[in-house]
């Protein structure tokens, strides 16, 4: 029987015209990322019981007062073998950490996307945290997501 632990941290970024953005950093022990193809149309991922550690970054953009449909959440997830104490991956090595991107908003869901470009590195700190930093290119968009944060150690 696997035991699932979930820990999280968050921080806020202020914008005078809109509510604060929220950034969340979570990790899940005894987990893995599973994918499935839905209706032969799109791929979606889920975090399930497993033998790895899954890390999750979320940027939650709050709805501005005058926006008719605003607000969205961007999520990046990836997994590492349990017991790992440091890592460094880029581009073609991303398949080794099963890294995915999801956009949640008031828009049609087009599926989750595998990330194939960028760099990520991290190491376990002695304070019960992982420090993870890097930048990943968002598939099908011209933007990137930069991460430079401490994630809780599961």
**pLDDT tens, residue by residue, 15-42:** 456 667 899 999 999 999 999 988 777 8
* Nearest-angstrom CA–CA distance, 133 and 55: 12
Which tops the pLDDT comparison, 111 or 55? 55
Distance CA 62, CA 44 (A): 24
On the question of pLDDT at 134 being above 80, the answer is: yes
1's CB contacts (< 8 A; 6+ apart) are: none
Cα 31 from Cα 102, distance rounded (Å)? 18
Residue 9: pLDDT above 50? no
- The answer to whether residue 4 scores a pLDDT higher than 60 is no
Domain that holds residue 89: 5-152
Dump pLDDT digits (tens) for 31-85.
999 999 887 778 889 999 999 999 999 998 776 655 555 678 899 999 999 999 9
Q: What is the count of structural domains for the chain?
A: 1
The confidence band for 6, taking pLDDT boundaries of 50, 70 and 90, is very low
pTM of the model: 0.81
Three-state DSSP state, 57: strand
């Amino acid at each position: 029987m696997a035991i699932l632990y979930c820990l999280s941290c968050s921080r806020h970024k202020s914008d005078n015209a809109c509510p604060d953005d929220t950034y969340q950093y979570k990790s899940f022990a005894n987990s893995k990322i599973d994918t499935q193809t839905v209706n032969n149309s799109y791929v979606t991922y889920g975090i399930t019981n497993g033998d790895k550690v899954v890390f999750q970054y979320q940027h939650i953009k709050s709805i501005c007062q005058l926006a008719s449909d605003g607000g969205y959440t961007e999520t990046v997830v990836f997994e590492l073998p349990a017991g790992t104490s440091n890592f460094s991956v880029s581009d073609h090595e991303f398949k080794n950490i099963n890294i995915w991107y999801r956009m949640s908003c008031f828009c049609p869901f087009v599926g989750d996307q595998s990330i194939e470009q960028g760099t990520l590195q991290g190491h376990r700190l002695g304070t019960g945290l992982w420090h993870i930093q890097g930048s990943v290119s968002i598939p099908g968009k011209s933007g990137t997501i930069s991460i430079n944060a401490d994630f809780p150690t599961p």
